[in-house]
Amino acid sequence: MPFKLIPTIISMIIGLLIWFIIPVPVGVDPNAWHLLAIFIATIAAIIGKALPIGAIAIIAMTLVAVTGVTNDSPKGAITDVLSSFSSPLIWLIGIAIMISRGLIKTGLGNRIAYYFIALFGKKSLGIGYSLAISELMIAPITPSNTARGGGIIHPIMKSIAHNFDSTPENGTQSKIGKYLALVNYHSNPITSGMFITATAPNPLVVDLINKATGSEIQLSWTTWAVSMFIPGMLCILLMPLVIYLLAKPEIKETPDAKTFATNNLKKMGRISKNEKIMLAIFTLMLLFWANIPEMLTGISALKLHSATTALIGLSALLITGVLSWEDILKERSAWDTIVWFSALIMMAGFLNKLGLIEWFSGNIQAAIAATGVSTTMAMVILTLVYMYVHYFFASTTAHITAMFAAFYTVGLSLGAPPMLFALIMAAAGNIMMTLTHYATGTAPVIFNSGYASLGEWWRVGFIMSVVNLVVWISAGLVWWKFLGHY
């Protein structure tokens, strides 16, 4: 069968129960409740991987259009269903994934990683930092965290481990491979939290914050990057050392690593024309995303929307031949993301418009308010529950779509400073990726290479979630206060 039977049945039962069996609560629009049935069934199907997420999204969009839960008019219903395809944020993330193909095709991503290993690879700890810094360097332009951590960095990490005869097949993973695999993975959530364009769900968070605050808070690429820079850098600097203590490699000195990286750089030869073009376009995009041209010249016309900048970057790659249209057509993950992102944002948006998020948030608010806790303690409770419930999710996007808007709205209702709580929740939405071997797409890629056992993965994941959360929020409170965010 093209679908997994048990997850499909479970998701259908959940949807039918909410639609037909569970009474519509007092104060809730029946259409909102029926849309919730489709939405929850969709999330259940995504978690259970009943079908590929894009296929599930298409089915969900079809159900919304056919049932008319957003609009009584057939034309209005299909217009609503397709409305999110015009979202600049969706196209920003899709185009950025297409652009990231250039890092792989030209070999620039590998060259960056080998360069840092050649510089810092004399010790195991140095190789760990090299992998983390390499991931950080390419994070702003690789919105597929799976492509970044699993497709670019992981093969290099495995090559280094093999060079030291550290493989699961030989039972020698503890030599250095386990340590490097864990660093390879735990770099991913940190770098994902540092840039809007570092992982696909971040633009969704931006959109949900914008809607929840009535457009009062519109996180730009620059605002996000500056706000997350100090906390993220502290986590990046601390993480390889913490994992070194948790999964200490048997090999401490690695003089061969520098030779390994240098030899691979020699094999690659001098930097190619296409790599130079890719690097130039990469730099240009970062400058426009950071709004540097307008700040330097004072010319307002040089302030471009982040999605416009992404279009310019993609156009430049096509014009110069670094990427071909065939490359773009073959970038399945980009087109897939555009489809399922549009579906999830559309449903989440109409749940908000139909008043369900407000109703749900009001109930959670009343429950927390009844305990008499302070606003600060309410923020702590909401953040911890939101983050650690990720143990039950196999998709960061599904988790954020299902829960972010409600939890954020509750925090605002209980008096949380809007910008401060937005940044805390945005950070938690990335830190939670550390927890399990199914927490995000990168996790199974690295876990399945066999360097760490399930118990080791979960133990290190939980400890790193605590370390990252404490460092990120404590440093963030000081940095964000300095920036005037609260």
Closest of 195, 462, 200 to residue 340, by C-alpha: 200
Supply angle C-alpha 91, 64, 392, rounded to 5. Answer: 75
Q: Give CA separation, 82 vs 46, 86, 331, 339, 349, in Å.
A: 20, 8, 22, 10, 12
What are the pLDDT tens digits along the chain (486 aa)?
Answer: 788 999 999 999 999 999 999 999 998 999 999 999 999 999 889 878 899 888 999 999 999 999 999 999 999 999 999 998 998 878 877 887 788 788 878 888 788 878 888 888 788 899 999 999 989 988 987 777 887 888 778 878 887 888 788 889 899 999 999 999 999 999 999 999 999 989 988 988 999 999 999 889 989 899 999 999 999 999 999 999 999 999 999 988 887 778 888 888 999 999 999 999 999 998 898 888 777 888 889 898 898 888 898 899 999 999 999 999 999 999 887 898 889 878 888 888 888 789 887 788 788 888 888 888 999 999 999 999 999 988 877 678 878 988 898 899 999 999 999 999 999 999 999 999 999 888 888 888 888 888 998 889 999 999 999 999 999 999 999 999 999 999
Give CA–CA dist 74/421, Å, rounded: 39
Kindly state the tokens that stand for 27: 């104060």
Closest of 341, 337, 329 to residue 61, by C-alpha: 341
The β-bridge partners of 123 are: 253
The β-bridge partners of 253 are: 123
pTM: 0.76
